[in-house]
A and B are shown apart, each in its own frame.
Chain A
C-alpha cells in the first residue's frame, strides 16, 4: 500500500493472523442493521471477487460463483473496524457506468446519489487495463476511493507483475494488492478503508487527462456553470459529461434540484468524526 500517513500504518500479515489482533480490530457484523458511521460501496468489473471480499469482511455467506453477472442486486452487510461501524454495500459488477442496463444503473445510482463515504473498486490484476476503464469512471464520480487489486495469486501464476506503488501514484488513491479467496491483503484493505473514511478531503485524484477535443468547449462551459451553482459538487465534470451524453436520470436529478444538499450532509458527518479522531490521538 502506498501514500499512507504514519498514523494508520497497515498491519502486517503476521498481525492479521493473530486472533487477539483480529478480535480488537475487525468485527464481522453480518446483516447490516442499526446505526453506521460510514457507508462503503464495493464496485468493480464482473467476476473480480467483490462478493468474496464482501463475505470476508461481513462474515456473511453471499453466494459466490466463478462467472460474470452473478450479483445483480445490491447486497448489504456490516463490519466494525477500530471502533467504527461500517455498512458495506456489494454492487453488481459492471464494465462501465455509462450504459443503460439495470445492473449498471443500480451501481451508478448508488455511487452518485447514495454518496458512499468510501468506494472500494475491486479490480482483476490479470486484466488491469480493462478494469481501469471502470476505475477511471468511478474516480470521476468520487475521489474517496480505494483500489483493491484482487486475484494477485492468479496474476502471479500467469506471470503478470503489477507495480501497485506506480498505480497508486498515477491514480491518487490507495492501492491494495490482495487475494481475497485466501484472505490475503484484507488487513491492508481495512486499513485503507479506515484511512479514506476518516480523511477530511480526498487527495490529488486522477481525472481524465485529455478531454476529447470535440466536446472540450461544451464540457468546460457546462462544468463551470455547475460549479457556480453547486460549489460543493465533487463531480461537476462527470455530471456535465453525462448531461452532454443525454443521461435522463442525471438530467432529472439536476432539474429537481437533487444535486445540492447531498454533498453537505455527507461531508459534515465526516468532518465531525475526523475532529473527534484527531482529539483522540492528542
Chain B
C-alpha cells in the first residue's frame, strides 16, 4: 500500500493515525513468524480451554450413528454419485409426470376459456383492432402461456428441492463434487455456488462471495451459467417430453425424459469442470486453496414450512419475474410479426436471415430469434418459439391471425406444430443443448458486472458459453447428419 505524499512517515504529527500506522509497519518487520498464525493459535488455545470447562458428554451418542451411516453411503466414492443422480432423476421424474395434468388444466382455463372471453370483452368495449392485438394477442397470451407452462413444474420441483436442502443433503453433494473441483483447479466451495445456480444463476454468482481467492471466485462466476437455472428447466422438461419421450413407448416416456433432463444437467456440471480446468490453465492460473467443508447434521425437514417458503420465495418469485418479462415480450413479438417493411414482417425477415446459421447449428432461425428476444428471461423461450414457428411456417387454422399464440394445451399438439415447422429430433436435442449452453440472462450478466466490477469479465462470461453453445450444437449437427 502506498503512502499519500502529504503524510510521509517523518512529517506525521505525533499521536496521529498516520503516525501510529507508520509505527505498526515498523513493528511488523520486527516480528518473527506469521502474525496471523500466532493469533490463530492463541485463539484456538483459549477456545479449547473455555469449551473444555463448559461441555460434557454424559450420554451416549445415539443418533450420531444414523447420521454417520447415511454419510458413509451418500459420500462414498462408490455410491455417492449414483445416489446423487438417482435422487435428481427422481425429482425430475416426479416433476415431469406430475406437471402434465395441471399444465393442461391451466392452459385450458387461461387460453382456452380466458382468451376468447377477453376478446369478446374487448370487442364489446369497442377497442381498435391493433390495441386488441397488442394487449390480448400479444401480452395476455404470452403471459398466460408462461403461467401454464411454468407454474405446475415449479410448484412441484422447488418444494422437492427445498426439502432436500432442508434435510442437509446439499453439503454432501458439495462434498462429492469437491474432489472434482480441486482437480479442475477450482475452489471446492464452488460446489455451493453451483448448487445455487441450479435455482438461479444470478443468485449463484452472488453466492461465490464465500470463495476468498479472487482467481477461484472468477472461475466460479464464469462457469456458473453451466448450472441449469430454473428459467431453463421448463424448456428442458417440455422438449424432453416431446422429442425424447416420444421415441419410446408411452409407459417409459416419463422415465426416459427424466433421464434426458438429468443428463443435460449433468452435462452442464461436466462443462463447469472442463471450463474451470481450461480457465485455471490459461488466463486464471494459480494455486488451489484448501478449505474445510462442514457436513451439518441431517435435520428432519419441517414439511409445511418448507412447502410454504419454497412456494412463496421461489415458485411465486420466479413466476412473477417471468410474468413481468412476458408482458413486454408478448408485445414485442406481436409487433414484430405485424409491423411490415417491404411486404414482410420484421420477424419473418429476421427468421429468414438467421435460418442459415440456425440450420448449420441443427437449430433454426426461429430458435435463434427467440433467444434474442428472451435475453431478459429464459422463461419465455417456449412460448416465443411456438408463436414464431406458427408465423414462419404460415400455418393456418391453429392460431388464426399473425402473432397470435394459439390454443395448445398438450405436448402432442405442440409437437404437431413444431414438426410442421420443420423440427426433427435433432432440433429438439440441440435446443436442449443450446438452452444449457448460451449467454446468461440479462439479470445474471448485470450481477456479474456488479460482483466483478469489470465489463471485461462480464463480457467474457456472456460470450464464452455462447461460443461453446455454437461449437457444441454445430458439432452435434454435423455428426448427426453424417451418421444418419
Task: Report A's interface with B, CB cutoff 8 A.
Answer: 46-47, 61, 63-69, 72-73, 92, 96, 98-104, 106, 126, 128-130, 132-133, 135-137, 154, 157-164, 166-167, 170-171, 181, 206, 208-212, 214-215, 218, 221-222, 225-226, 228-229, 240-241, 243-246, 248, 251-252, 254-257, 259
Task: Give the CA-CA distance A255 to B46 in the complex, in Å.
Answer: 32
Q: Closest Cβ of chain B: how far from A15's Cβ, in Å?
A: 25
Report the minimum CB–CB distance from B14 to chain A (whole Å). 9
CB distance from B418 to the nearest CB of A (A): 37
Kindly list 7 other residue pairs between chains A and B, CB separation below 8 angstroms, not including A212-B42, A214-B32, A243-B24: A66-B171, A99-B212, A133-B44, A160-B57, A212-B39, A225-B15, A244-B27
Q: Which residues of B have CB within 8 Å of A248?
A: 1
The verdict on A66 contacting B50 (CB below 8 Å), with A181-B302, A210-B42 known, is no
**Residues 34-68 of B contacting A (Cβ, < 8 Å):** 35-36, 38-48, 50-64
Contact B7 A222 (CB under 8 A): no
Inter-chain CA distance A240–B21, complex, in Å, is: 10
Interchain CB contact under 8 A, A65 and B166: yes
Q: CA of A157 to CA of B43 in the docked complex: distance in angstroms?
A: 29
CB closest chain-B residue, reference A151: B297
Q: Is B120 an interface residue (CB 8 A)?
A: no
Residue contact B189 to A255, C-beta cutoff 8 Å: no
Of A66, A72, A128, A171, which is within 8 A of B296 by CB? Answer: A66
- Is B170's beta carbon under 8 Å from chain A? yes
Cα(A72)–Cα(B61), bound, Å: 33
Q: Is the CB of A129 within 8 A of B51?
A: yes
Q: Given A229-B20, A255-B18, are A104 and B35 neighbors across the interface (CB < 8 Å)?
A: no
Could you tell me the distance between the alpha carbons of A209 and B44 in the complex, rounded to whole angstroms? 11
Q: Name the one of B28, B33, B297 contacting A154, with C-beta atoms under 8 angstroms.
A: B297
Could you tell me if A167 and B50 are in contact, using CB atoms closer than 8 angstroms?
Answer: yes
Inter-subunit contact B210/A101 (CB<8 Å): yes
Q: How far is the CB of A159 from chain B (nearest CB, A)?
A: 3
Specify which of B38, B54, B192, B299 lies most central, judged by the most chain A CB atoms within 10 Å of its CB: B54
Q: Is the CB of B206 within 8 A of A72?
A: yes
Given that A126-B297, A208-B42, A246-B35 are contacting pairs, would A162 and B165 also be in contact in the complex, using a CB cutoff of 8 Å? no
Task: Tell me if B443 counts as interface (CB < 8 A to partner A).
Answer: no
* Residues of B with C-beta under 8 A to A135: 47
Q: Which residues of A contact B59 (CB under 8 A)?
A: 159-161
CA gap between A94 and B52 in the complex, in Å: 22
Contacts of A129 in B (CB 8 A): 47-48, 51-52, 55
Contact A46 B31 (CB under 8 A): no
- Residues B40 and A98 in contact, CB atoms below 8 Å apart: yes
CB closest chain-A residue, reference B38? A212
**With known contacts A61-B313, A136-B46, A222–B212 Cβ distance under 8 A:** no
Docked-complex contact A210 and B166, CB < 8 angstroms: no
Q: Which residue of B lies closest to A65 (CB)?
A: B165
Question: In the complex, A140→B109 CA distance in Å?
Answer: 62
Residues 1-34 of chain B, each 1 if its beta carbon lies under 8 Å from chain A, else 0:
1001001000000011110110110011011110
Query: Do B43 and A240 touch across chains, with their CB atoms under 8 A apart?
Result: no
Question: For the complex, what is the distance from the CA of A85 to the CA of B162, rounded to whole Å?
Answer: 33
